[in-house]
Amino acid sequence: MGETDGTSPVHEPSLDEQIAVYQREFQDLDPQVEKVVSALSRLNRRMNVAYGRQTAALGISNAEWEVLKALVISGAPYRMGPSELAKQLGLTPAAMTHRIDRMTAEGLVTRERDESNRVRVIVELTDEGRSKWLDAMRAATVFEEDLLQDLSTAERGVLGDMLTRLLDRVEDLQARG
Amino acid sequence: MGETDGTSPVHEPSLDEQIAVYQREFQDLDPQVEKVVSALSRLNRRMNVAYGRQTAALGISNAEWEVLKALVISGAPYRMGPSELAKQLGLTPAAMTHRIDRMTAEGLVTRERDESNRVRVIVELTDEGRSKWLDAMRAATVFEEDLLQDLSTAERGVLGDMLTRLLDRVEDLQARG
DNA sequence: TGTGTAGAGTTAAGCATCGAACTTTAGGCA
DNA sequence: TGCCTAAAGTTCGATGCTTAACTCTACACA
């Protein structure tokens, strides 16, 4: 085909190559900082692809899995309102309405009016939804254990700690401006 | 309004609360692993929100910024084909076509046929596109430096190193299955 | 009791993305 | 030369998301 010069398929640049170019193009760049944020971004994209394959194999989407997770995390009896769900998942209420439509049709959740406050709606996990969550969770933990395989227990602790600190920091920044 | 019981606004559970519930609901969960992956996921969502605000302030979207970045990283003369771009950004060629349409209309890139191989198309960064990239980059680095503020130089190095190892690992897993 | 306001959720219209089918060009091989 | 296959990009139809407008209920306050 075209100009396959022998060794350049499509060649996504490696992290270090990417940072080297950035430094050429943008002098006051801290390569250490850039390495952290670029790795975070790439890592997350790849992880989402991996999760997507697993959930697809179970007949649900990543989007639906997010909803199942939020409901389980809310604890028994696994009920939340659409707005609350939307806030946690970073969606608009409109998107949440549609997502709940689909998941209701698939039997993963039920939707009913709150009789004690008729403006509200209660989304509740069904047994099937809970079981799907469990299946997805099992697959996810296998993958996650695999992912962290090269890190010692001590390193995992340090990593978790540092990421938590970044998370606190970003929430702080969010709150201010 | 509703049942504001005084201290539960919408209450997104903290990372530790979330993991505590997960352990109740799913016995064989490694809390250390879960903490790492959950923090990664949350962190990335928040960072994307932050980047989104910055790019919006510049009159572009995060999606467009991703394209600008890829073109700059490819190095001068800042040219790539649509498929190559699509692969790096994790999009389908169809989506890339439309995105390039929009960015061409906005003057951020140009699109022309490759005369030496008329099946191909060359997307090239314009001066305006390069300048937008620079503006976004300046804003991003300020944010990123802020984000990592609580980590020492040594810690940043360790974090970058660990994330790179995870990235290598996930690429490995991707390649296999 | 009535009115105004605010919050929860849905509906409607527009846009970005996806998967699949299609067009065009390049190159291999008879 | 002519055919066949593969690759690049676009077009088409469907899906899920966004913003904005709207409905309905609850509560505050006169």
Mark whether B70 and B132 lie in a shared domain.
yes
- The answer to whether the CB of B163 falls within 8 A of the CB of A143 is no
Give domain status of residue B6, yes or no: no
A33-62 tens-digit pLDDT: 999 999 999 999 999 999 999 999 999 999
For residue B164, tell me if it sits in a domain: no
The residue to which tokens 């769900």 are assigned: A85
Reference A76, options B21, B30, B20; nearest CA is B21
Q: Are residues A132 and A68 in the same domain?
A: yes
Q: Is the pLDDT of residue A3 over 60?
A: no
Is residue A130, in this structure, part of any structural domain at all?
yes
Measuring from the CA of residue A93 to each C1', which nucleotide is nearest?
C9
**Model confidence pLDDT, tens digit, residues A109-151:** 999 999 999 999 999 999 999 999 999 999 999 999 999 999 9
Establish if A155 belongs to a structural domain: no
CA of B101 to C1' of D3 (A): 35
Q: Does A99 lie in the same domain as A135?
A: yes
Nearest protein residue to nucleotide D7, judged by CA and C1' positions: A1
Residues A45 and A86 grouped into a single domain: no
* Whether residues B95 and B25 fall in one domain: no
Q: Does any domain span residue A163?
A: no
Which residues lie below 8 Å from residue A11, measured CB to CB, with a gap of 6+? none
Helix (H) or strand (E) holding A135: helix A127-147
Residue A45 in domain = yes
Task: Say whether both A66 and A125 belong to one domain.
Answer: yes
CA distances to A16, A29, A38, B41, B62 from B140, rounded to whole Å, are: 19, 10, 12, 19, 12
Question: What CATH number is given to the structural domain containing A115?
Answer: 1.10.10.10
Q: Which of A31, A88, A135 is nearest to B38 (CA)?
A: A88
Q: What pLDDT band is residue A6 in, cutting at 50, 70 and 90?
A: very low
Q: Does B68 lie in the same domain as B87? A: yes
Return the pLDDT at A11.
66
Task: Report the domain count for chain A.
Answer: 2
Tokens read off for A11: 């060649």
Tens-place pLDDT, residues B1-13: 332 333 334 468 8
Residue A92's pLDDT is 97
Give yes or no for a contact between A156 and B36, defined as CB atoms under 8 angstroms apart: yes
Contacts of A74 in chain B (CB under 8 A): 13, 21
Among candidate residues B19, B62, B140, B7, the one with its CA nearest the CA of residue A73: B19
Is A168 within the bounds of a domain?
Answer: no
The residue segments making up the domain with residue A91 are 61-140
B88 CA, D22 C1': Å apart = 42
Tens of pLDDT, residue by residue, chain B (177 residues): 332 333 334 468 899 999 999 999 999 899 999 999 999 999 999 999 999 999 999 999 999 999 999 999 999 999 999 999 999 999 999 999 999 999 999 999 999 999 999 999 999 999 999 999 999 999 999 999 999 999 999 999 999 999 999 999 999 988 876
